[in-house]
């Protein structure tokens, strides 16, 4: 997790435009203008809409910047269709409650996974054990509903774990009402070699979870039964 305030300050000192992709945090957890960023981008497909049924994007910033961006966008033809705009507008009204629930549920699940004997490592900045936990506490109101963890073994073992899950849906998106699960080595980063993935810290047994709005206890129970099956299958 980079030192975001130092990046914004560096850009300002060198008269550069600073821009941040705030998709994973959402404005509930992180507000870039308050930390010195000129522009923030969102895939509104994720937390902002939160229901996995539209594809949309947002750019936020000072009017002078947005006016220039809007002109270019109009020329390029990027316009959201009215129904998608209607859905996104409605869903923004529940953004706060959705993300705060997802923050709390993900933290609970990260803690559960961290102490589980079938899990070798959990990546979630809300955990005290995360190397940038102190920085995350200073920057974010919450650490979002997305986390990842490592299972011992290869990508086939991770795929067997995923197949045993009953609640999270296998899909590469995030931030919606339904929990989603994805194995980066088999989906998002399948185009890289194992060595290239390893250099980025993406092991074959890495599993990404996007926590939705299900009852946390139901997700814990499901993860636990899938992990117990893992012990038998390895």
Ligand X SMILES: *Cc1c(COP(=O)(O)O)cnc(C)c1O
Interaction site with ligand X (CB under 6 A): 21, 23-24, 43, 45-46, 55, 57
Q: Give me the count of residues in the chain.
A: 234
Residue nearest to ligand X (CB): 43
Nearer to ligand X, 46 or 98 (CB): 46
Local structure of residue 8 (DSSP, 8 states)? H
Nearer to ligand X, 33 or 57 (CB): 57
Which DSSP string do the residues of 168-220 spell out, in sequence order? SEE-S--SSSS-EEE-TTTTTTTTS-HHHHHHTT--TTEEEEE--SS-HHHHH
**Residue 53 phi/psi, 5° resolution?**
-135, 5
Nearer to ligand X, 80 or 194 (CB): 80
Nearer to ligand X, 78 or 138 (CB): 78
Q: Measuring CA to CA, how many Å separate 8 from each of 11, 19, 20, 158, 220? A: 5, 8, 9, 38, 38
Look at residues 141, 168, 154 and name the one whose alpha carbon lies nearest to residue 226: 168
Tell me the closest approach of the beta carbon of residue 42 to ligand X, in angstroms.
Answer: 8
Tell me the closest approach of the beta carbon of residue 61 to ligand X, in angstroms.
Answer: 17
Tell me the closest approach of the beta carbon of residue 154 to ligand X, in angstroms.
Answer: 26
Tell me the closest approach of the beta carbon of residue 23 to ligand X, in angstroms.
Answer: 4
Nearer to ligand X, 44 or 165 (CB): 44
Tell me the closest approach of the beta carbon of residue 56 to ligand X, in angstroms.
Answer: 6
- Cα distance between residue 33 and residue 93, in whole Å: 21
């Amino acid at each position: 997790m980079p030192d975001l305030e130092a990046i914004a300050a560096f850009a300002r000192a060198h008269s550069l435009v600073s821009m941040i992709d705030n998709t994973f945090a959402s404005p509930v957890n992180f507000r870039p203008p308050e930390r010195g960023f000129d522009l923030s981008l969102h895939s509104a497909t994720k937390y902002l809409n939160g229901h996995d049924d539209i594809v949309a994007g947002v750019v936020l910033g000072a009017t002078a910047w947005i006016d220039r961006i809007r002109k270019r966008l109009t020329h390029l033809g990027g316009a959201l269709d009215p129904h998608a705009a209607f859905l996104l507008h409605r869903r923004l009204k529940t953004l706060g409650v959705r993300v705060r629930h997802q923050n709390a549920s993900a933290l609970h699940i990260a803690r559960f996974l961290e102490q589980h004997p079938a899990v070798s490592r959990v990546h979630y900045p809300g955990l005290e054990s995360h190397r940038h936990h102190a920085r995350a506490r200073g920057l974010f109101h919450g650490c979002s509903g997305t986390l990842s963890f490592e299972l011992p073994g290869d990508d086939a073992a991770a795929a067997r774990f995923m197949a045993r899950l009953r609640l999270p849906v296998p899909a590469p998106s995030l931030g919606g009402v339904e929990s989603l699960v994805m194995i980066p080595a088999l989906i998002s980063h399948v185009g890289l070699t194992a060595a290239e993935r390893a250099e980025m810290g993406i092991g074959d047994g890495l599993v990404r979870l996007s926590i939705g709005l299900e009852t946390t206890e139901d997700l814990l129970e499901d993860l636990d039964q899938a992990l117990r099956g893992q012990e038998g299958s390895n």
